[in-house]
Structure 1
Amino acid sequence: MKKLTAVLLALLVQAVFSPAALAQDGKAALVPLPSVDDFSRGEDGWSFGLGFGVEYETAYEGSDEFGLEIEPAGGLQWRHGDDVFFFAGEALGWRGVRANSWLLEAVVGFDEGRKESDSDDGRLAGLGEQDEGAELVLQARRAFDADWRYWLVGRVVTGGNGNLGLFGVGRRFGDQIDGTGSELNVVVVVHDSEYANHGFGVNSAQAIASGLNQTSLSGGLRSVGINYNFRDDLNDHWQIYGEALFEYFSSEVRDSPIARSSYEAEIGVGVIYLF
C-alpha cells in the first residue's frame, strides 16, 4: 500500500509538472519513448545521469512474497547522431535508430541468479544457489509512424541458461519529443526448455534436498504481460520516472512447485539527476 501511494504521488507530480507547466527546449531524444534512457538532450557527446529508484516486487520468479528494494538508476552515455553507447549499472550496450522507424539495441548484462535466502519463508530451501551470469539482449522496435505513436517490439535474451523471446505491441501517450510522457506495452513471452527449467524446473537432486516434486518443463509459452512506463522532467536537471509490470504465467509454469503464484508483478518509481 505504501508503494502504491508513492506511485500515485509520482503520477500527481507528473500532472503538476506537465508540459503545460514546464517549457520544453524542443531537443529530440533518440526516440521519444519514456522507457528508453536518453540523457543527451538531443546533443552529441557525453551525458551522465545518476539517481535511484524504489521498487516493490516479487522476491524471485514465481514467488508469492513481495518486498521493497532500492536500485541505482541512470548511467553514462555517449551519443553520435542516431547512435548511443551506454554503461548503466551492470549493463553495457548500444542502441541506434535506422530509417527513422527502427530502434535497434544490443546489451551485455547479467542475470541476477537466485539464492535460497531470496525466500524469507524458506520456499527455496534445498534448491541450491544460482550464480549471476552474463547474458546478451538483442531488441528491435518497429514504429508504424514517424512520431512513434505505435510500434512492434521483439526481444531475444540468450546466455548460459537458455533463451527467452518477447514479442508485443506498444502505444505512446503525449506529444513530447524529449523522451518524457508515458507508454504501454502488451507482450507475449516464450522460452526454450533450458531457460524454463533454470527458473522453474526441479531436478532429482533438488527434489531430494527440497522435498518438492521432480519437475521438467518443455519450451513454449511462458507468459503474457503488460507494462507501463512514464518519465517527466521536473526542471532542467531533475527527472522522475516510474514503471508498473504484470506478467501472468502459462499453465505449465503455474504447475511448477517453484511457482507459488500465478503471476509476477513489479511497481517502482525513482528520480535521476542529469549533469
Structure 2
Amino acid sequence: MKKISILVLFSLISGLTFQSALASDKSKALVPLPSLDDFTQGNDGWAFGLGVGVEYETAYEGSDEFGFEIQPAGAVQWRRGDNIYYFAGEAFGWRGRYDDKWLLEALLGFEEGREEDDSDDGHLDGLGEQDEGFELVLQGRRAFTADWRYWLVGRIVTGGDGNLGLFGVGRRFGEQNDGTGHEVNLVAVFHDSEYANKGFGINATQSAASGLAATTLSGGLRSVGIDYSFRRYINANWQVYGEALFEYYSSEVRDSPIARSDYETEVGLGVIYVF
C-alpha cells in the first residue's frame, strides 16, 4: 500500500470503461462534487442509497500497520430546495447551498476512539483505551465560479477532547453536474493541544505502563495532505465511488513515540445502489 500513490489510483480509476448507459447528465446535484453523495437526483423529498465499500488504511493514527476493512455505504436523505438533511451510518447532518457559491454543512458523528488491540504488534499496550463519543463537524466551501471548478474549504471538528481545523483549496474535474467525476483537495490541518495529546500524547501513567517516553504536544500544525474523490454512475441506479487520502505529519507529531510512521494514508472503493 505504501507504494501506491494517489496519481496511480487516479490513472487506474480514470481508465475504467462501462458499457452500460451512464446517468451523468440526467440530474443536477445540490453541489456537483464527487465527495458529496446526493441521491435526490435534483428532486425534493426522500432519497435513499445503499451500498458497501472496502478500505485499506492504517490501523490507527500514526500506525505503520495496515489492513482492510468493510464499511457500509449510502445514506437516507431528505431534500427541500437547496437543503439536504441526511442520516449516514453513525452521523446525522445537514448541508445547504447559498448564492450558488457557498456550501455550508453541519453534522453530528460518532467517534469510536482507540483501543490497545488496534495494534496487532502491541505498540499501544499500556496506553489504555480512549472513550467513545460524539463530534460536531462544521464545514464550509466557497466556490470561485458557479460551476464549482475551484473552491476554498474550511472545517472545524470539536467534541469532548479538543478541536481540529482544516483549511485548503480544491479542484473539480469533469463537466457533469450530477456529482460525478473527479475531485482533489490540498489541505493543511491544525489541532489544539488537547486534541493533539489525545492522539499522540503520553502522560506519566501511560509512560510507566507502556515503557514509552512521556510526551506532551503543544498543538499547532498537525499535517499537510491531499485527498482525492471519484464517483461515476454505472447505470441509472448503480454508482461506483473511490477515495484516497495522504496526510504527512508535522515534526512535533512525528517526534511522538506513538507515530511509528511519518504519514497516514487510506484508499477506498465501493458501490452504491440508488433507489
Q: Same fold (TM over 0.5)?
A: yes
- When normalised by structure 2's length, the TM-score is 0.95
Residue 26 (structure 1) shift: 3.3
Q: Superposed, which structure 2 residues align to 1:227-242 within 5 Å?
A: 227-242=227-242
Q: Superposed, which structure 2 residues align to 1:1-275 within 5 Å?
A: 10-13=13-16, 16-17=17-18, 22=22, 24-275=24-275
The percentage of aligned residue pairs carrying the same residue is 71
Q: Residues 18 and 232 of structure 1 are in contact (CA less than 8 Å); yes or no, is this contact kept in structure 2? A: no
Cα distance per residue 1:45-95 (max 9 Å; x no partner): 000000010000000000000000000000100000100000000000000
Letter in 2 for 1:128: G
- Distance in 2 between the 1:131 and 1:272 partners? 32
- Distance in 2 between the 1:196 and 1:101 partners? 33
Letter in 1 for 2:190: V
Q: How many residues align?
A: 271
User: Alpha carbon RMSD of aligned pairs, Å?
Assistant: 1.9
Letter in 1 for 2:155: R
- Distance in 1 between the 2:102 and 2:76 partners? 23
Letter in 2 for 1:265: T
- Distance in 2 between the 1:25 and 1:166 partners? 32
Letter in 2 for 1:96: G
- Distance in 1 between the 2:146 and 2:226 partners? 24
* Gaps in structure 1 of 5+ consecutive residues: none
Residue 12 (structure 1) shift: 3.3
- Distance in 2 between the 1:62 and 1:191 partners? 15
Residue 9 (structure 1) shift: 5.9
Q: Secondary structure at the match of 1:121?
A: coil
* Gaps in structure 2 of 5+ consecutive residues: none
Q: Residues 22 and 236 of structure 2 are in contact (CA less than 8 Å); yes or no, is this contact kept in structure 1? A: no
- Distance in 2 between the 1:244 and 1:24 partners? 22
